[in-house]
Amino acid sequence: MSLAPTLSVVVPCYNEQEVLPEFHARLVPVMDALGWPWEVVYVNDGSRDTTFAVMSDLAARDARVALVNLSRNFGKEIALTAGLDHARATHGVVVIDADLQDPPEVIPALVAAAQEGFDIAYAQRSIRHGENWLKRTTASMFYRVMQRLGGKVQLPRDTGDFRYMSRRSLDALLTMREQHRFMKGLFAWVGFPSVAVPYERAPRAAGETKWNYWKLWNLSLEGITSFTVAPLKIATYLGLATAFFAGLYLLQLVVRTLFFGNPTAGYPSLMAVVLFLGGVQLMTLGIIGEYLGRIFNETKGRPLYLVERHLPSTADREVSRR
Ligand code: UDP
Ligand code: MG
C-alpha cells in the first residue's frame, strides 16, 4: 500500500518525446522544494512518437511518476480529464502543459497563493512570447466575446489550463462528465474562491504546437456552444429583426402600389430578399445544428476515454531509484 501524495501534477502529453525529459528534470527540483509528498501523472494521449516509451522510462526511474496510456488520441481536454481522474492527491492538483510553455517554476507561486485561502490559483499570462500578432488578436477577441456571452459564469482573461486546484474543487469539476469539454468553461463554472497569479508565458521549448487556426476556431465554437446558449437567442432575434424589416418593406410596397402604381420590375429586390433570408435561415439552422450535434453526442453516453494501461505512482518509494 502506498500513501496518497499531497499534491498531484497532471500533464497531458501528445507527441512530446523531445521535451518530456527536460520537463521532468525541471519539475522534480521545484516539487521537491515544496517539501510534500507529490506525484506526477503523465497522460499519453495516443502519441504517434515515442512519448510513451519516454514516460515509461521516467516511471521506471522515478516512483513518483504515474502513467495513464489512453487507447488513442482523444484531444487535450479529455486527456487532461483522464489525468485528473487518476490523480490521487489529498490536497490538490496542478495542471500543466508538457511543452514548458507553462514554466514549472511558477508552481510554488500557485501553491503559495492557494494557501492564502483559495481553492483555485490560476496562472495568468502577462506576456506571450513566441506568439504572433494574429494569434494574440484572435485570442483577445475570443475572450471579449466570451465575456459578453458568459453571463454569471465569467472566464478569466489570458488564462490557460495551468493552475492549482484544491481537492474539493477538483471533485466538483470531475462530477461534470460531458463529452464536449471546454475546460476553461468548466473551471469557471465550478467557481470557488480563486486567485490569479501573473507569469510570463514562454515559447514552446521543443517539438511543435498541435494547434492551428482551424483547431482554434473549433475550440472557440466548442467554448461558445458548450458554455452558453446565447447564439440560439441571437438567431431568434436575428429572425425577428429580419421579419420586422421585411414587414415594413412589404407595407411600403403595398402603399406605393395602391397610391402611386408600381412601375418598377421587382426582380433584383426580390432576389436580394430571397438570398438574404435564405442565408439567415441556413445560418440559424447551422446554429441549431451545432447544439443538436452536441445533444446527439451526449445522449450516446459513451465513456470519455479508454485507458490502455495505468501505472499508479508509489509515493512510499519516496527516494527515486537512480
Ligand atoms: N495535447 C494533448 N492532446 C492533444 C493535443 C495536445 O494531450 O491532442 C497536450 C500537449 O502535449 C501539451 C498540451 O496539451 O502538453 C498543450 O498543447 P500545445 O502546446 O500543442 O497547445 P498550445 O500551448 O499551443 O495551446
Ligand atoms: Mg503549448
- Position 215 scores a pLDDT of 79
Residue 209 has pLDDT above 80, yes or no: no
Residue with the larger pLDDT of the pair 43 and 190? 43
Q: How far is CA 239 from the centre of its chain?
A: 31
- C-alpha span between 92 and 114 (Å, rounded): 10
Q: With a 6 A CB cut-off, is 210 part of the ligand 1 pocket?
A: yes
Average pLDDT over residues 100-116: 89
- Position 315 scores a pLDDT of 60
pTM of the predicted protein model: 0.73
Beta bridge partners of 164: 94, 121
Beta strand 159-166 with 92-95 is antiparallel
79 alpha carbon, closest ligand:
1
- Grid coordinates representing 170 are 477538483
- Position 204 scores a pLDDT of 65
Pocket test for ligand 1, best of 14, 138, 158, 201 (most atoms within 8 A of CB): 14
Most confident of the following: 117-131, 143-157, 169-183, 214-228: 169-183
Q: With a 6 A CB cut-off, is 120 part of the ligand 1 pocket?
A: no
Q: Which one-letter DSSP state was computed for residue 116? A: T
**Whole-complex ipTM:** 0.92
Residue 310 has pLDDT above 70, yes or no: yes
Q: With a 6 A CB cut-off, is 73 part of the ligand 1 pocket?
A: yes
Q: With a 6 A CB cut-off, is 158 part of the ligand 1 pocket?
A: no
Question: Which residue CA neighbors atom 14 of ligand 1 most closely?
Answer: 76
Residue with the larger pLDDT of the pair 255 and 172? 172
Which atom in ligand 1 lies closest to the alpha carbon of residue 101?
Answer: 23
Residue 72 has pLDDT above 80, yes or no: yes
* Least confident range of 1-15, 97-111, 192-206, 298-312: 192-206
Average pLDDT over residues 104-126: 88
Q: With a 6 A CB cut-off, is 16 part of the ligand 1 pocket?
A: yes
**Per-residue pLDDT band at 85 (split at 50, 70, 90):** very high
Residue 90 has pLDDT above 90, yes or no: no
- C-alpha span between 224 and 148 (Å, rounded): 11
- Position 205 scores a pLDDT of 62
**Per-residue pLDDT band at 55 (split at 50, 70, 90):** very high
287-300 pLDDT, tens digit per residue, is 888 888 888 888 88
Residue 316 has pLDDT above 80, yes or no: no
How many Cα atoms occupy the beta-carbon half-sphere of 8 within 13 Å? 31
Q: With a 6 A CB cut-off, is 183 part of the ligand 1 pocket?
A: no
Residue 232 has pLDDT above 70, yes or no: yes
For helices 76-86 and 167-174, give the axis angle rounded to 10 degrees: 120
